[in-house]
């Protein structure tokens, strides 16, 4: 006749038999797998796939940041050319101070994109040590449960180590992989539409800045009047579409935040809830 489990074993899920397989065998397998995964975290396919997703976001945000900085430089230069031109044409032109709010908005959005770019870079670098630490914590949980599972305190320690080990070692890269599969499909149309708006508005900005730098100071003074007209025309065109520009910039920032923070956090939260429900005594 099977003897009833003692209280600490009854309250500890690892003190039961699962499908007829001894718990010690299961814990030994978990310990071995976790140790191997911790030792080879840098070549783990899941970790490498998650790193690829983070690097993809970093590369995209870097391109967007450069575009915004180019646009920011043009708006600042346009104001300077206006002032310089007013001196050449003896004060008949007024400074383009009305460009300043648009310029400030573009600069602030560029700063947010820069933060996203840095965060994704840090994430791609930190994934290997974080997942390795997670697997090491899971191995520690299995070892504690294997050799000291009859003690209530050891059982609580093993459970905590196991939960956070699974979170960092497995759930974090899996959440990023699922985000990679889902995020592009969910945000592709928004990204395409608003990227097209920004590309259209800033299409002539790069060539304008290049031509400004090409001729030197004397050539710039000689063509001050034409530069003034050209910059004014382009600046007015940007200002007239400033609402579209700001809306598109905010949409792109929202896409970055959704892909890097919101969707992975939702997936991690869902997985964490399921894990805790499964391991609840």
- 135, 38 contact by CB (below 8 A): yes
Q: Is residue 3 assigned to a domain?
A: no
Which residues sit opposite 21 in a β-bridge?
18
Q: Which residues form the domain of 220?
A: 14-279
Q: Is residue 56 assigned to a domain?
A: yes
Q: Which pLDDT band, with edges at 50, 70 and 90, does 194 fall under?
A: very high
Q: What is the model's pTM?
A: 0.76
pLDDT of residue 281: 63
**Mean model confidence pLDDT for the chain:** 81
Which of 173-182, 228-237, 238-247 is predicted with the least confidence, judged by mean pLDDT?
Answer: 228-237
Instruction: Dump the DSSP string for 47-73.
Output: HHHHHHHHHHHHHHHHHHHHHHHHHHH
Q: Is residue 1 assigned to a domain?
A: no
State the average pLDDT over residues 163-183.
Answer: 95
- Can you tell me the distance from the alpha carbon of 19 to that of 139, in angstroms, rounded to the nearest whole number? 22
pLDDT of residue 60: 92
Q: Is residue 93 assigned to a domain?
A: yes
State the average pLDDT over residues 3-26.
Answer: 55
The total of other beta-carbon atoms located within 10 Å of residue 96's CB is 21
Tokens standing for 71? 């646009």
pLDDT, tens only, 44-91:
999 999 999 999 999 999 999 998 998 888 888 777 754 444 444 444
Q: Single out the residue of 57, 79, 73, 58 nearest to residue 106, CA to CA.
A: 73
φ and ψ at residue 21, rounded to 5 degrees:
-95, 125
Q: Is residue 6 assigned to a domain?
A: no
Q: Is residue 63 assigned to a domain?
A: yes
Q: Which pLDDT band, with edges at 50, 70 and 90, does 98 fall under?
A: confident
pLDDT at 32 over 90: yes
DSSP label at residue 228: H
Q: Is residue 7 assigned to a domain?
A: no
pLDDT at 161 over 80: yes
pLDDT of residue 229: 67
Tokens standing for 118? 């840095």
Question: How many independent structural domains does the chain possess?
Answer: 1
Handedness of CA 123, 128, 134, 140 (dihedral sign): negative
- 241, 201 contact by CB (below 8 A): yes
pLDDT of residue 206: 54
Q: Is residue 141 assigned to a domain?
A: yes
């Amino acid at each position: 006749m099977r003897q009833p489990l003692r209280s600490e074993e009854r309250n500890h899920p690892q003190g039961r038999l699962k499908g007829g397989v001894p718990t010690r065998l299961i814990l030994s397998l978990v310990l071995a797998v976790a140790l191997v995964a911790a030792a080879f975290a840098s070549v783990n396919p899941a970790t490498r796939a998650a790193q690829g997703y983070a690097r993809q976001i970093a590369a995209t945000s870097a391109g967007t940041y450069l575009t915004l900085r180019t646009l920011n430089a043009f708006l600042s230069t346009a104001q300077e050319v206006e002032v310089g031109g007013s001196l050449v044409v003896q004060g008949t032109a007024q400074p383009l101070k009305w460009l300043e709010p648009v310029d400030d908005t573009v600069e602030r959005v560029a700063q947010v994109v820069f933060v996203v770019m840095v965060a994704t870079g840090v994430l791609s670098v930190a994934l290997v040590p974080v997942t390795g630490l997670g697997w090491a914590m899971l191995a520690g949980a299995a070892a504690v449960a294997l050799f000291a599972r009859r003690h209530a305190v050891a059982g609580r320690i093993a459970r905590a180590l196991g939960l956070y080990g699974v979170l960092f070692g497995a759930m974090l890269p899996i959440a990023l992989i699922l985000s990679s599969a889902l995020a592009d499909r969910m945000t592709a149309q928004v990204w395409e539409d608003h990227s097209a708006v920004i590309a259209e508005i800033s299409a002539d900005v790069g060539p304008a800045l290049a031509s400004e730098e090409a001729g030197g100071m004397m050539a710039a003074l000689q063509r001050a009047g034409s530069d003034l007209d050209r910059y004014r025309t382009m600046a007015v065109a940007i200002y007239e579409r400033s609402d579209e520009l700001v809306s598109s910039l905010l949409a792109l920032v929202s896409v970055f935040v959704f892909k890097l923070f919101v969707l992975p956090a939702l997936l991690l939260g869902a997985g964490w809830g399921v894990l805790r429900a499964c391991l609840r005594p």
